[in-house]
Amino acid sequence: MGDRSAPGPVRTLALRCADWPVVALGDRADAPVAVLDADRIVAANPAARALGVVPGLRRREAQARCPSIHLAERDEPGEARAFEVVLAELQQLAPRLEVREPGGCSLPTVGPSRYHGGDRALARLVAQRVRTALATHLGAGRVPCAVGVGIADGPRAAAIAALEDLADHAGRPEPDARGVGVVPPGATAEFLAPLPVERLGVEPPAGSTVADWDELTALLRRLGLRTIGRVAQLGAADLSARFGSLGVTAHRLATGVETEGPVLAAVPPDLRVSAAVDPPAEQVERVAFLAKALADTLHVELAGRGLACTRVLVSAETELGERIERLWRHEGALSPAAIAQRTRWQLEGWLATGRSAGRERGGIISLSLEPDQVVPDDGVQLGFWGDDGAARDRALRALARVQALAGAGSVLVPEWQGGRSPGEQYRLVPIDTVDLAARARGEDRPWPGRIPPPSPAVVEHHPRPVELVDRDGNRVEVGGRGLISAAPARCRVDGGPWSEVRAWAGPWCTDERWWDALAHRRRARVQVVLGPSGRPHPSHAEAHLLALEDRRWWLEASYD
Amino acid sequence: MSATPASDQSRSDELARLRSVVERTRPVSTADQRVLPVLGVLEDLLPGGGLQRGSVVRVRGPVGATSLAFALVAGPTRAGSWVACVGAAELGWAAAAESGVELDRLVVVRPTDSTLLGVLATLVDAFDVVVWGLSGRASNTDARRLRARARERGAVLVLVDPRRRNVGSDPWPDAADLELRGVGADWSGIGQGWGRLTSRRLVVEVAGRRGATRPRRGELLLPGPTGAPTATASPGDTGSQVDTGPQEGTGSRGDTGPQVDTVVELRGERSA
């Protein structure tokens, strides 16, 4: 068989599921659905794409193109859980899977193809198994998820082949038997030659990012090199002189001699970190926190050697002797938070599939992390929450105990999201859904229409009704032109005692989401300073932010 | 007794040696010797110039308790300490960030009523500062236990009591080591239908058991014009500009006519 003579790079099978974030939602296969991440579309189903909703659009643009579209926020743990169905199926064909992100994985083919009778047979088997698993999982009547399988000399060429395969039978729900992209050994260069140069950026190798490759391929296109074949015709020395190591990597891929790039460092021995879990953990939360601590130890060990990890082997063992191993890869480097998150995905998905299959999984008794591929750390990676190691470790351990005591959603962190009303500017999110190394900070970004600082220290989650009247006891109103009917004189909250309005300012009107009949809100806000009536000089003045909505006043926040 | 230069020399050597021995054999500093740093404005206000580790600090109204609590924990978070807030459903995080709290080192815990005290005890074990909004109620024994735990672990338990309560049901029956009270406030920048709230002069009364038996009073701008606590300017220095609020807002200045009976003392008068 040919694959025995394949030189250098490892012959690899790559699997890609189209629009995995949408598929993982598990519903509405025929209606337009798209998934958003940070206000950008990241995936859309065929029905949505037919209407012009493509990844990269903003929420508003997508809604303009397709008003009936169902938009869901990205749920990475959910995607990972759903992908476990596919992984469990593939695990029966090949022992070691490498997962880059939910929706795509790869495996070395040398052993499996020999066993299953060649690359083509293996590819067909994989495609068929995955389709069957997905059809069973998604339920009858759903449009099956499109699956692309590619085999080539090296993981990146295989990924490109899988994408080509996906593009080949896009729109055809039931692919023919040919529907796999197997590139014969040694023919990678010919396979890649006619493809557009942008394909070079698929799956950036360790040490580079998607943005680096986008920049490179855009420049190559502007230089007139529109296909990968044209890049291959150039000399490696010329590309190296002009584009540095990225250019060399691109040339190697284009000519079919894929390597992991020149920047790889040797993995130091004995960097495996592991911990026993005692008593065995039935809940993922406990293991996730342990994973964070382990990831941090690993990070410190690697940082001491000037290295960062781009591929990590996460393995866990249960009390019933079962063992689950996954390789996780990340462009750039895996931060401790990212490693912990992937551990969580892996275990959650695995426990979920066990439960749905009615099998007892047992508690997890040990967890270990092993760096599989490292690159010299070029300083991109930041310490995890600063470098106050001891305080942080103690805090995280305590939070693990608190979560075990009070439930998973009980520990939250404030995250900036922006908004006009004081309650909208920050929201509380569960701590383990946040990548703690990359949190949104937005104090310096303007929000037109928000009340400038100082901000109120107490924000009412359920605004309390307020009566605000003028000197004659008539209710104060704000007209359509934003003018107040009379100066407010007295105020009372929730039917309490009346207070005198000592000073006031406003009204400031906001008209939000006027394009949306349901979410449309018109509000007028005023700031009031209250003091008890009857006393000439109050020792303490209370300041509040009141809002008028639907002709009723509410106490929105207090400047306590 | 005349000391020759040579014996002087040997004596100072000996002293230096003994000092280093003392340094090495000294017991580990006890919790109450250590102090968590606070923002510069608050240093003069607090006995010892900071938050004493292992102490219980109670912050109460009638005004400004929440802002005071934010200002107190801002210093420790900036110095790398971790803060946990319990029972803090209604805090304004924007205000916290403006007062200087590093939200990266702050977590919010929402226990159920039955797990509240267990959670508090766990947090006191590990966090430098635990802020409890007095959401539930601690019994006498629980309060004493929590206090002992805080002292042992060197944590600061900050109890926040923003609303005026009836005396009968004190959620924290035990004493506090330090008590801060916001007793007087006046706002500047706001008038009768013009301006906006820009800063508040807050009068704080500090009383306590350790090193602060005599109550003292202090004044600060909390929040200051940017939201951060600042020292009060000397009287007569009213350089603040009147801001007309959000740009998109339609002010109604002049609609109501000038009001004569302004009772609240205004520091940011219209300069024009």
Residue A530, pLDDT score: 86
Residue A12, pLDDT score: 85
> Is A60 strand, coil or helix?
helix
- SS (HEC) of A251-266: HHHHCCCCCCCCCCEC
Count of beta carbons in the 10 Å neighbourhood of residue B206: 19
Amino acid at A304: G
Instruction: Identify the weakest region by mean pLDDT among A302-306, A528-532, B146-150.
Output: A302-306
State whether residue B198 sits within 8 Å of chain A by CB. Answer: yes
**Run of H or E residues at A168:** helix A155-168
Amino acid at A341: Q
Closest CA to A301 of A367, A207, A208, A371: A371
Looking up tokens 């994973």, which residue turns up?
A: A291
A147, A15 contact by CB (below 8 A): yes
Tell which B residues from 206 to 245 touch A, by Cβ distance under 8 Å. Answer: 223-227, 243, 245
Does residue B4 surpass a pLDDT of 60?
no
| Residue percentage of chain B with pLDDT more than 70 | 75
Average pLDDT, chain A: 78
* Subunit contact A455:B94, Cβ cutoff 8 A: yes
Residue B163 CB partners (closer than 8 Å, separation 6+)? B61
A-chain residues near B266 (CB < 8 A):
503
CA distance A147 to A104: 10
Tens digits of residue pLDDT in A302-318: 877 777 777 888 888 88
Is the ipTM reported for this complex over the cut 0.90?
no
Tens digits of residue pLDDT in A144-189: 677 888 888 888 888 888 888 877 765 444 444 444 578 888 888 8
Q: Read off the pLDDT band of B84 (50, 70, 90).
A: very high
Q: Read off the pLDDT band of B252 (50, 70, 90).
A: very low
Cross-strand pairs, B201: B186, B221
Residue B250, pLDDT score: 38
CA distance B187 to A320: 66
Does residue A134 surpass a pLDDT of 50?
yes
Closest CA to A351 of A405, A288, A277: A288
DSSP A446: -
The C-alpha angle with vertex A343 and arms to A338 and A347, in degrees rounded to 5, equals 150
A29, A211 contact by CB (below 8 A): no
Q: For A457, name the nearest residue in chain B, comparing CA atoms only.
A: B92
Nearest chain B Cα distance for residue A455, angstroms: 5
Output B61 or A26, whichever has higher pLDDT. B61
Q: For B202, name the nearest residue in chain A, comparing CA atoms only.
A: A540
Does residue A138 surpass a pLDDT of 80?
no
A232, A220 contact by CB (below 8 A): no
CA distance B87 to B108: 8
Mean pLDDT value across residues A113-140: 80
Q: For B70, name the nearest residue in chain A, comparing CA atoms only.
A: A457
B-chain residues near A443 (CB < 8 A):
97-98
* Subunit contact B95:A456, Cβ cutoff 8 A: yes
Mean pLDDT value across residues A39-53: 81
Mean pLDDT value across residues B112-117: 84
Output B8 or B4, whichever has higher pLDDT. B8
Q: Read off the pLDDT band of B26 (50, 70, 90).
A: low
A501, A528 contact by CB (below 8 A): yes
Does residue B237 surpass a pLDDT of 70?
no
A525, A506 contact by CB (below 8 A): yes
Output B33 or A304, whichever has higher pLDDT. A304
Does residue A260 surpass a pLDDT of 70?
no
Residue B158, pLDDT score: 92
A-chain residues near B248 (CB < 8 A):
448-449, 508-510
Residue A181, pLDDT score: 78
Counted across chains A and B, CB pairs separated by less than 8 A come out at: 244
A93, A125 contact by CB (below 8 A): yes
Residue B262, pLDDT score: 33
Residue B238, pLDDT score: 40
Nearest chain B Cα distance for residue A337, angstroms: 14
Q: Read off the pLDDT band of A283 (50, 70, 90).
A: confident
Cross-strand pairs, A458: A558, B91
Token digits for B232? Answer: 């009060």
Tens digits of residue pLDDT in B58-70: 998 788 888 999 9
| Residue percentage of chain A with pLDDT more than 70 | 81
* Subunit contact A398:B126, Cβ cutoff 8 A: yes
Token digits for B110? Answer: 């929402």
Query: Which one of B126, B185, B251 has the shortest CB-CB distance to A394?
Result: B126
| Residue percentage of chain B with pLDDT more than 90 | 6
Question: What is the number of alpha carbons within 13 Å of residue A508 lying toward its C-beta?
Answer: 25
In DSSP notation, A381-402 reads PPPTTTT-HHHHHHHHHHHHHH
Residue A445, pLDDT score: 67
Does residue B253 surpass a pLDDT of 80?
no
Token digits for A231? Answer: 């890049």
Mean pLDDT value across residues B89-95: 84
The C-alpha angle with vertex B45 and arms to B28 and B51, in degrees rounded to 5, equals 30
